[in-house]
């Protein structure tokens, strides 16, 4: 028994695109496609959620802050202007997405603008800038109603503007408060998410390339050994053996190959022996021809006996025909049973498809319910925080205790809703699940 030598490998025909190369490329492309698709879906989902949160938080902030800012302006506009500046500064710090606050009277004149500052950072006089606003803003101000729309600032960046009229104690609307909400936090999140997903995708592709190359080599190495082994046998080396231990079909194939080689060697040896025996047989056949003449006479006598046996065989054939007819009847019954079984399998497949559809409907319902609960809950949470901070008026100890109890329950309900949303995403297959001990 001899093994595959280097000389055998030299005679191996070159392969331009090997099986291992094709397998590695296919697996890498599949993994890359899945990772890129996953990154795009996650990024767009995250962007939508953040944009909704910014919109909802800004709406809640403006509704709670309008009366506070308006009352402070009427109170401190003629004196103690620093108190109004401090109040506006504290309000802007609470909502980092608010980029600008401006007070506009019903004729479209700017009474105050938080972005109009001195070099030392202090706001200018509260007696009005004397500056007019654009016509579209003046038109909205003249309507004296709450409005919310997306615009572009002087730099061309998209922002959200909210116009909220201030109603004084007499029911009159002396001015409107214009809030400009920046999407800078959303843009930062887009950049961060894109960077994270790019890094994850690159790492996944590199890992998949390594795994694909490793698996391809594990699969094609035994095949290469078989190619070399068959080439050696084709050249007359019937002692060639394959030593493949992969514990799969390739190992079974190698075992059968070795068995075939042994049988081929034995058969060739037998053929050589048979050729020698045939020469002896030819001599014996010539001797037998003489005896055949005598045997022919005996065969004629036996022919009469065979005719009698043929009659008996005809009777047996009739019995065999009856048996075949019974077998045909049984076969028809089996075919009918097979048709019934196929129909049952088809009904079972339809039932399985209906179950899958119900499961998808359940996941979509959970996700929709989570989003619908999350939006009003964010508004409730914002109102509760402003009540706790006494932004809309003083509260006593009992009210504070009740509000903090509400805050804890709101946080708990938010956690449940987020968990429900994550559960629906897991069932929908939009986020991966890693089970760890």
The percent of residues in the chain predicted with pLDDT above 70, rounded, is 85
Report yes or no on whether pTM surpasses 0.95: no
Rg, the chain, Cα only: 45
Q: What is the distance between the alpha carbons of residues 245 and 224, in angstroms, rounded to a whole number?
A: 14
The pLDDT confidence band at residue 118, using thresholds 50, 70 and 90, is: very low
Burial class (CB in 10 A: 0-12, 13-18, 19+), 216: buried
Q: Is it the case that residue 316 has pLDDT exceeding 60? A: yes
Per-residue pLDDT, 408: 92
pLDDT tens-place string over residues 23-70: 778 878 888 888 888 878 887 787 777 778 888 888 888 888 888 888
pLDDT digits over 392-410, tens only?
Answer: 788 898 888 998 998 899 8
What is the tens place of the pLDDT at every residue in 80-115? 777 887 888 888 787 778 888 888 888 878 888 887
Of 3-7, 35-39, 228-232, which has the strongest mean pLDDT? 35-39
The pLDDT of residue 256: 84
Range 166-192 average pLDDT: 83
Checking if the pLDDT of 185 tops 80, the result is no
For 156, list phi and psi in degrees, rounded to 5: 85, 5
For residue 234, the model assigns a pLDDT of 75
At residue 326, does pLDDT exceed 80?
yes
**pLDDT score for 405:** 93
- Name residues whose C-beta falls within 8 Å of residue 121's C-beta, 6 or more positions apart in sequence: none
Residue 128 has pLDDT above 70, yes or no: no
What's the pLDDT at 135?
A: 58
Give percent above pLDDT 90 in the chain.
1
Please write down the long-range contacts of 413-422, taking CB distance under 8 Å and 24 or more positions apart. Answer: 413/373, 413/377, 414/374, 414/377, 414/381, 417/370, 417/373, 417/374, 417/377, 418/370, 418/374, 420/366, 420/369, 420/370, 421/366, 421/367, 421/370, 421/371, 421/374
At 275, the pLDDT band (50, 70, 90 cuts) reads confident
Work out the mean pLDDT of the chain and round it to a whole number: 77
Q: What mean pLDDT comes out for the span 358-367? A: 75
* pLDDT at 370 exceeding the cut of 80: no
- How do residues 372-388 score in pLDDT, each as one tens digit? 777 888 888 888 888 88
* Nearest residue to 250 via CA among 233, 229, 235, 265: 229
Instruction: Compute CA distances 214 → 14, 21, 157, whole Å.
Output: 21, 11, 49
Q: In what order do the strands lie in the sheet with 158-166?
A: 110-113, 98-105, 175-182, 158-166, 147-152
pLDDT tens column, 297-312: 777 777 777 777 777 7
Query: Going by C-beta distance under 8 Å and a sequence separation of 6 or more, which residues neighbour residue 108?
Result: 132, 133, 137, 138, 141, 142
pLDDT at 409 (0 to 100): 92
Q: Is the pLDDT of residue 77 over 50?
A: yes
3-state DSSP assignment of residue 164: strand
Q: pLDDT tens, 133-152?
A: 555 565 665 567 788 888 88
Angle, vertex CA 220, rays to CA 215 and CA 222, nearest 5:
115
Q: Are 133 and 100 in contact (CB under 8 A)?
A: no
Q: d(Cα 193, Cα 12) in Å, to the nearest integer?
A: 50
Beta carbons within 8 Å of 18's beta carbon, 6+ residues apart: 220
Q: Domains of the chain by range and CATH?
A: 28-200 (3.30.450.20)
Q: How confident is the model at residue 9 (pLDDT cuts 50, 70, 90)?
A: very low
Q: Is the pLDDT of residue 195 over 70?
A: yes
Over 90: is that where the pLDDT of 194 sits? no
Section 263-268 average pLDDT: 80
């Amino acid at each position: 028994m001899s093994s595959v030598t280097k000389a055998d490998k030299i005679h191996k025909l070159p392969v331009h695109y090997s099986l291992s190369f094709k397998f590695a490329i296919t697996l890498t492309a599949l993994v890359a496609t899945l990772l890129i698709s996953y990154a795009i879906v996650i990024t767009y989902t995250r962007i939508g959620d953040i944009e909704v949160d910014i919109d909802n938080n800004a709406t809640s902030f403006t509704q709670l802050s309008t009366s506070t800012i308006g009352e402070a302006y009427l109170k401190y506009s003629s004196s103690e202007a620093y108190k109004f500046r401090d109040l506006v500064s504290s309000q802007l710090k609470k909502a980092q997405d608010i980029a600008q606050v401006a007070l506009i009277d019903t004729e479209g004149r700017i009474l105050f603008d938080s972005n109009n500052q001195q070099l030392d950072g202090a706001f200018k006089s509260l007696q009005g800038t004397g500056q007019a606003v654009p016509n579209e803003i003046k038109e909205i101000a003249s309507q004296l109603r709450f409005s919310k729309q997306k615009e572009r600032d002087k730099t061309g960046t998209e922002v959200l503007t909210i116009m909220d009229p201030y109603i004084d104690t007499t029911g009159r609307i002396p001015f409107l408060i214009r809030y400009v909400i920046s999407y800078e936090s959303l843009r930062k999140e887009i950049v961060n998410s894109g960077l994270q997903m790019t890094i994850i995708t690159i790492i996944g592709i590199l890992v998949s390339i390594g795994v694909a190359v490793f698996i391809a080599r594990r699969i094609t190495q035994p095949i290469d050994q078989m190619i070399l082994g068959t080439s050696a046998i084709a050249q007359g080396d019937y002692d060639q053996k394959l030593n493949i231990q992969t514990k799969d079909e390739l190992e079974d194939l190698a075992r059968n190959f070795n068995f075939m080689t042994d049988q081929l060697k034995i058969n060739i040896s037998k053929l050589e022996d048979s050729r020698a025996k045939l020469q002896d047989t030819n001599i014996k056949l010539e001797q037998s021809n003489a005896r055949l003449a005598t045997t022919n006479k005996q065969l004629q006598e036996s022919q009469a006996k065979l005719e009698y046996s043929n009659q008996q065989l005809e009777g047996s054939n009739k019995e065999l025909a009856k048996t075949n007819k019974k077998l045909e009847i049984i076969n028809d019954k089996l075919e009918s049973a097979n048709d019934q079984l196929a129909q049952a399998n088809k009904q079972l497949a339809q039932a399985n498809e209906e179950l899958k559809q119900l499961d998808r409907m359940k996941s979509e319902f959970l996700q929709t319910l989570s989003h619908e609960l999350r939006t009003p809950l964010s508004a409730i949470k914002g109102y509760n925080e402003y009540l706790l901070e006494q932004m809309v008026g003083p509260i006593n100890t009992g009210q504070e205790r009740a509000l903090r109890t509400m805050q804890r329950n709101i946080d708990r309900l938010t956690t449940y809703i987020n968990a429900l949303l994550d559960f629906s995403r897991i069932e929908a297959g939009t986020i991966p699940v890693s089970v760890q001990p």
